[in-house]
């Protein structure tokens, strides 16, 4: 018998000692980080609302209780009982029964009403029919991404269960080494923005944090070939942890499966969905630009299949010697600060990912309170000594001024924006300004993936700022459903009609003017001196957006039919409105560290150009007397 099987037997004995004698335990197994307990008496289990909590506390594991299939009521009668128990106003859209696990997936417009106060309705369902309810939200805005992901995971349910059982056994294997050390190796995004990738390693475990591309430089990829990463084989990685879905952090994760990785990806549920959306678009853009995609769409599906979603604040075993906790980063939907607790109190490392410290219209500000943190890996996008963004109210005031002036001269405002995050932030500003009469009500056209990304935001309102979440819960107040928002879904013909029509605002991907529908809008509107191109997000070095922002007027547009390169002379006004970035500025980064509880001993400043990382590193050293570094790629730091 293996060590894992022996431990499971011990767990089963402990469970049987804790539960009342009239409850029969039929199986105890691992599924990913969770301990799954099967019982023939789910109704009795559900009668004691604290029993699972007591077991979780005693065993120090996340626990799921499932009914043995022999104890289940037939789906037909169970459906009638569940529909009777759940209030009609919950808006139940579907019930999907899975006899192999004893779970019933309940899709509803208002999941909170299905859950009930402190889970009371869920317990009543189990007490009545035996089935274990799992609740998902019906998207207020129809989302093909959410629907496709849910249907795909439903189809792959059996294989996914096998994957999770294998992952669970790997997590709970016996530790093999008595050595104690922690190392971080930088594989990208050091003294540069983009291609984020790090290896966190111990004598027992190797974890990859992020694996992204570099905007404006598609051939610059993380140094995955080195021995610390995939040089010894992708199968030697224990886990991948993804901070958020932006492509400079997530684009190349499917490549790992092409190389033979078959382990888990830990991230939040909305990040999983956004990751799939952006990666598929990444492949589409590469094909349209004539570049060979680095992987096939099948690898995107593999990544989704291997994703283990975690909620903020859940402490989760991901290896024999490492626990992971995700915390809100305030950057985009589902973005996380990843806190790693190594060993039994041995060492603690936090990777910030990308953060926004102050509250925004979309999100609560980044969390910076942790039980312990010895080392912080901190983004430095705006870490330069002069990188102070405009106050958000001033930024909104400037944007509204630009829109009013442009509309008065019958022009159009073209805003390149990232599909995820900045677009929704701008949508909220425009919806309120038009509702309050601060700017004229004109059509706001959403091109590229913006509408689909907005639908995903509406699916996960619990990840949004508190007051915005409450508005979305009330369907008639959902700001994303305002009448002026128009989804461009008829391609070039609709773009031409908009360009030939009256004043409007156009939000379009890509945010750094690196391909995508924004190029078409520049062709239609670039020569119109009455219109305004307005940047609201970060423009990385080497991107066309940065070149235009810096004054470039001749825009390359590929080749004509004879093979000669085409150019467009830009006649639009060009404006930049700071303050809408999803990144903390220099003051925000310093405030994040200054108020961090506890304050770390060491800080690695990454994800910024050379001057930004060095400036921030120097300032933190002088102001807070901590050890700071501005590492280069391919450096390894040993702690302990």
Q: What is the pLDDT of residue 558?
A: 67
**Statement to judge: residues 425 and 480 lie in one domain:** yes
Residue 368 near residue 597 (C-beta atoms within 8 A): yes
**Statement to judge: residues 482 and 333 lie in one domain:** no
Q: What is the pLDDT of residue 520?
A: 93
Q: Is residue 161 included in any domain, yes or no?
A: no
DSSP 328-372: E-SSSTT-EEEEEEETTTTEEEEE--S---S--SS-PPPP-B-S-
Percent of the chain with pLDDT over 90: 78
Residue 637 to residues 181, 182, 184, 632, Cα–Cα distance (Å):
11, 8, 5, 11
Question: Which single residue is written with the structure tokens 């379009």?
Answer: 508
Q: What is the pLDDT of residue 219?
A: 83
CATH number for the domain harbouring residue 366: 3.60.15.10
The 10 Å CB-count burial string (b at 16+, else e) for 17-33 is eebeeebebbebbbbbb
Q: Provide the sign of the torsion angle of the four alpha carbons 236, 239, 242, 245, taken in this order.
A: positive
Q: What is the pLDDT of residue 502?
A: 95
β-sheet with 197-201: strand ranges across: 307-309, 265-267, 239-241, 206-209, 197-201, 182-188, 636-639
**Statement to judge: residues 512 and 611 lie in one domain:** no
Find the distance separating the first CA and the last CA of the chain, reported in whole Å: 35
Q: Is residue 160 included in any domain, yes or no?
A: no
> Average pLDDT for residues 181-186, to the nearest whole number?
97
**Statement to judge: residues 335 and 380 lie in one domain:** yes
* Residue finishing a domain among 94, 124, 153: 153
**Statement to judge: residues 378 and 430 lie in one domain:** no
Q: What is the pLDDT of residue 269?
A: 97
**Statement to judge: residues 347 and 263 lie in one domain:** yes
Q: Is residue 1 included in any domain, yes or no?
A: no
Q: Under 8 Å CB-to-CB from 104, ≥6 apart: which residues? A: 78, 82, 95, 96, 97, 98, 125, 129, 131, 132, 133, 134
Confidence of residue 50 (pLDDT cuts 50, 70, 90): confident
Q: Is residue 165 included in any domain, yes or no?
A: no
Answer whether residue 176 shows pLDDT above 80: yes
Residue 249 near residue 210 (C-beta atoms within 8 A): yes
**Statement to judge: residues 48 and 104 lie in one domain:** yes
Q: Provide the sign of the torsion angle of the four alpha carbons 585, 309, 454, 117, taken in this order.
A: negative
**Phi, psi values for residue 254, rounded to 5°:** -60, -25
**Statement to judge: residues 55 and 87 lie in one domain:** yes
* Residue finishing a domain among 124, 153, 182: 153
Q: Is residue 25 included in any domain, yes or no?
A: no
Q: In this predicted structure, which of 428-442, 468-482, 526-540 has the lowest mean pLDDT?
A: 468-482
Residue 533 near residue 575 (C-beta atoms within 8 A): yes
Q: Higher pLDDT residue, 317 or 45?
A: 317
Residue 266 near residue 242 (C-beta atoms within 8 A): yes
CA–CA gap between residue 26 and residue 98 (Å, rounded): 18
Q: What is the pLDDT of residue 527?
A: 93
Instruction: Write out the residue range of the structural domain in which residue 516 sits.
Output: 392-576
Classified as helix, coil or strand, 625 is coil
> Average pLDDT for residues 490-499, to the nearest whole number?
92
CA–CA gap between residue 133 and residue 126 (Å, rounded): 7
Q: Supply the angle between the helices 144-155 and 450-459 in degrees, to the nearest 10.
A: 60
Q: What is the pLDDT of residue 228?
A: 87
Confidence of residue 563 (pLDDT cuts 50, 70, 90): low
Confidence of residue 361 (pLDDT cuts 50, 70, 90): very high
Q: Supply the angle between the helices 3-18 and 51-59 in degrees, to the nearest 10.
A: 140
pTM: 0.92
Confidence of residue 565 (pLDDT cuts 50, 70, 90): confident
* Eight-state DSSP code of residue 506: E
Q: Is 487 exposed, middle or buried (0-12, 13-18, 19+ CB in 10 A)?
A: middle
Average pLDDT, the chain: 93
**Statement to judge: residues 502 and 613 lie in one domain:** no
CA–CA gap between residue 338 and residue 356 (Å, rounded): 15
Q: What is the pLDDT of residue 291?
A: 87
**Statement to judge: residues 629 and 503 lie in one domain:** no
Q: Is residue 240 included in any domain, yes or no?
A: yes
Q: Is residue 10 included in any domain, yes or no?
A: no
Q: What is the pLDDT of residue 557?
A: 77
Question: Which single residue is written with the structure tokens 């289940």?
Answer: 72
Q: H-helix or E-strand containing 237?
A: none
CATH number for the domain harbouring residue 57: 3.30.300.20
Answer whether residue 323 shows pLDDT above 70: yes
**Statement to judge: residues 344 and 406 lie in one domain:** no
Q: H-helix or E-strand containing 63?
A: strand 62-67
Answer whether residue 560 shows pLDDT above 70: no
What are the pLDDT digits (tens) for 250-281? Answer: 999 999 999 999 999 999 999 999 999 999 98
Q: Is residue 134 included in any domain, yes or no?
A: yes
Q: What is the pLDDT of residue 128?
A: 93
**Statement to judge: residues 430 and 399 lie in one domain:** yes
> With DSSP H G I counted as helix, E B as strand and the rest as coil, what are the percentages for the chain, rounded to 5?
40, 20, 40
What are the pLDDT digits (tens) for 30-45? Answer: 999 999 999 999 988 8
> Average pLDDT for residues 574-593, to the nearest whole number?
93
What are the pLDDT digits (tens) for 467-486? Answer: 898 888 766 688 999 999 99
The two three-digit tokens of residue 294, written as one number: 């680095």
What are the pLDDT digits (tens) for 589-639? Answer: 999 999 999 999 999 999 999 999 999 999 999 999 999 999 999 999 999
The two three-digit tokens of residue 526, written as one number: 């670039």
* Residue finishing a domain among 540, 559, 576: 576
Number of domains into which the chain is organized: 3
What are the pLDDT digits (tens) for 232-253? Answer: 888 899 999 999 999 999 999 9
CATH number for the domain harbouring residue 424: 3.40.50.10890
> Average pLDDT for residues 320-337, to the nearest whole number?
97
The two three-digit tokens of residue 411, written as one number: 């022009």
> Average pLDDT for residues 541-563, to the nearest whole number?
83
Q: Higher pLDDT residue, 582 or 586?
A: 586
């Amino acid at each position: 018998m293996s060590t894992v099987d022996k431990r499971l037997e011990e767990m089963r004995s402990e469970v049987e000692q804790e539960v009342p004698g009239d409850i029969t335990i039929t199986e105890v197994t691992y599924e990913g980080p969770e301990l799954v307990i099967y019982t023939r008496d789910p109704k009795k289990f559900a009668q004691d609302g604290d029993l699972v909590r007591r077991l979780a506390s005693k065993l120090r594991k996340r626990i799921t209780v499932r009914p043995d299939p022999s104890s289940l009521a037939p789906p037909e009668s169970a459906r009638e009982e569940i529909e009777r128990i759940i209030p009609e106003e919950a808006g139940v859209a579907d019930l999907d029964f899975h006899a192999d696990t004893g779970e019933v997936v309940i899709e509803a417009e208002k999941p909170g009403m299905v859950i009930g106060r402190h889970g009371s309705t869920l317990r009543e369902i189990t007490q009545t029919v035996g089935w274990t309810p799992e609740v998902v939200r019906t998207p207020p805005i129809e989302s093909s991404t959410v629907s496709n992901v849910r249907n795909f995971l439903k189809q792959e349910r059996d294989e996914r269960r096998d994957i999770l059982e294998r992952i669970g056994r790997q997590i709970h294997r016996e530790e093999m080494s008595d050595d104690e050390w922690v190392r971080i190796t930088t594989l990208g995004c050091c003294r540069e923005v983009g291609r984020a990738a790090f290896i966190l390693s111990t004598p027992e475990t190797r974890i990859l944090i992020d694996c992204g591309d570099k905007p404006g430089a598609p051939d610059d990829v993380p140094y995955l070939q080195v021995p610390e990463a995939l040089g010894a084989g992708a199968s030697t990685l224990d886990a991948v942890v993804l901070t958020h879905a932006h492509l400079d952090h997530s684009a190349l994760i499917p490549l790992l499966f092409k190389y033979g990785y078959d382990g888990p990806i830990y991230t939040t549920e909305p990040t999983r969905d956004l990751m799939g959306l952006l990666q598929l678009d990444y492949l589409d853009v590469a094909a349209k630009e004539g570049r060979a995609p680095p992987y096939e769409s099948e690898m995107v599906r593999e990544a989704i299949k291997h994703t283990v979603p975690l909620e903020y604040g859940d402490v989760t075993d991901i290896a024999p010697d490492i626990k992971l906790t995700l915390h809100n980063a305030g950057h985009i939907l589902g973005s996380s600060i990843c806190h790693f607790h190594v060993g039994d109190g041995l060492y603690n490392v936090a990777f910030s990912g990308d953060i926004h410290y102050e509250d925004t219209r979309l999100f609560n500000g980044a969390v910076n309170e942790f039980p312990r943190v010895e080392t912080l890996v901190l983004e430095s996008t705006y870490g330069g000594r002069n990188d102070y963004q405009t106050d958000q109210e001033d930024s909104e005031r400037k944007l509204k001024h630009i829109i009013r002036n442009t509309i008065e001269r019958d022009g159009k405002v073209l805003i390149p924006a990232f599909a995820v995050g900045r677009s929704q932030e701008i949508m909220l500003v425009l919806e309120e300004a038009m509702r309050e009469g601060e700017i004229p009500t004109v059509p706001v056209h959403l091109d590229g993936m913006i509408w689909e990304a907005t639908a995903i935001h509406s699916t996960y309102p619990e990840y949004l700022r508190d007051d915005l979440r409450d508005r979305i819960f009330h369907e008639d107040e959902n700001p994303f459903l305002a009448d002026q928002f128009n989804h461009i879904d008829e391609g070039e013909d609709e773009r031409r009609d908009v360009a030939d029509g009256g004043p409007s605002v156009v939000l379009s991907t890509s945010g750094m003017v690196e391909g995508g529908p924004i190029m078409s809008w520049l062709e239609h509107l670039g020569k119109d001196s009455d219109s305004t191109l307005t940047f609201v997000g970060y423009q990385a070095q080497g991107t066309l957006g940065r070149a235009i922002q810096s004054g470039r007027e001749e825009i390359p547009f590929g080749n004509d039919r004879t093979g000669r390169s085409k150019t467009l002379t830009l006649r639009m006004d060009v404006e930049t409105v700071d303050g809408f970035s999803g990144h903390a500025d220099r003051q925000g980064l310093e405030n994040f560290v200054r108020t961090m509880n506890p304050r770390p001993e060491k800080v690695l400043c990454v994800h910024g150009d050379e001057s930004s990382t060095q400036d921030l590193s120097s300032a933190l050293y002088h102001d807070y007397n901590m050890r700071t570094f501005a590492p280069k790629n391919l450096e390894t730091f040993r702690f302990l």
